[in-house]
């Protein structure tokens, strides 16, 4: 059975960047529903015993189209939100990565600020609901990408390991920012837990 991650912080810990009500609804309702629906769909597809990464990388092995779509939508919703909520922490000024991931960001994008601008642009520019991603290949090279709805670099078949994501579904920011997605994306950099991102990079 798939279980959504428990938050390592209080629901109001991300304020003022993301408010308590958003966290409670987003994690407690949206993410919880994806998880419940994934468990039903994965059972139907006969893949419920497999790690979610393996399921999402092999969706073509689910022959029934409606079940495959249900596993993609709810499996992506489950996995993407685990990545998202695990990588957040209380706001910090001048919040930046350190260690190997910081060095690789400089190598691949020129500077942290250049990287941030590029990833923010992808998050703001994603048409409709979706996500922006930082991911790595096996050699450690970094990639930026977008995905629609509940797709991610795994379901898109890139073979890359997701390291960091920005949820740009309206439910992620509407209570706090209304229609101002660029403001939400600008603020979220204050609450990225770079220690979690660094660990994902080391374990890719």
Nearest approach, Cβ of residue 33 and Fe ion (Å): 11
55 contacts 17 by C-beta, under 8 angstroms: no
Which C-beta is closer to Fe ion: that of 97 or that of 130? 130
Q: Please, where are the H alpha helices in the chain?
A: 20-25, 32-45, 52-57, 65-86, 99-109, 112-125, 174-177, 181-188, 194-202
Residue nearest to Fe ion (CB): 167
Positions in the binding site for Fe ion (CB under 5 A): 167, 169, 172
The DSSP symbol for 167 reads E
Which C-beta is closer to Fe ion: that of 18 or that of 101? 18
33 contacts 61 by C-beta, under 8 angstroms: no
Which C-beta is closer to Fe ion: that of 119 or that of 168? 168
Nearest approach, Cβ of residue 65 and Fe ion (Å): 25
Beta bridge partners of 164: 134
Nearest approach, Cβ of residue 76 and Fe ion (Å): 11
Nearest approach, Cβ of residue 23 and Fe ion (Å): 11
Which C-beta is closer to Fe ion: that of 104 or that of 150? 150
């Amino acid at each position: 059975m798939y279980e959504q991650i428990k938050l390592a912080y209080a629901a109001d810990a991300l304020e003022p960047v993301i408010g308590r009500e958003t966290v409670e609804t987003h994690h407690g309702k949206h993410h919880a529903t994806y998880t419940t629906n994934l468990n039903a769909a994965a059972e139907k597809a006969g893949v419920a015993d497999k790690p979610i990464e393996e399921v999402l990388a092999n969706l073509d092995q689910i022959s029934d189209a409606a079940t495959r779509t249900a596993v993609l939508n709810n499996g992506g919703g489950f996995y993407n939100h685990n990545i998202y909520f695990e990588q957040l922490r209380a706001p910090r000024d001048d919040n930046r990565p350190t260690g190997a991931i910081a060095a690789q960001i400089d190598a691949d994008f020129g500077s942290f600020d250049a990287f941030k601008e590029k990833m923010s642009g992808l998050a703001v520019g994603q048409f409709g609901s979706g996500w922006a991603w930082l991911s790595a290949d096996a050699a450690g090279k970094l990639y930026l990408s977008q995905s629609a709805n509940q797709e991610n670099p795994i379901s898109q078949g890139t073979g890359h390991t997701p390291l960091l994501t920005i949820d740009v579904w309206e439910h992620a920011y509407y209570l706090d920012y209304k229609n101002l997605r660029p403001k939400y994306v600008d603020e979220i950099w204050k609450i990225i837990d770079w220690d979690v991102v660094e660990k994902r990079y080391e374990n890719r």
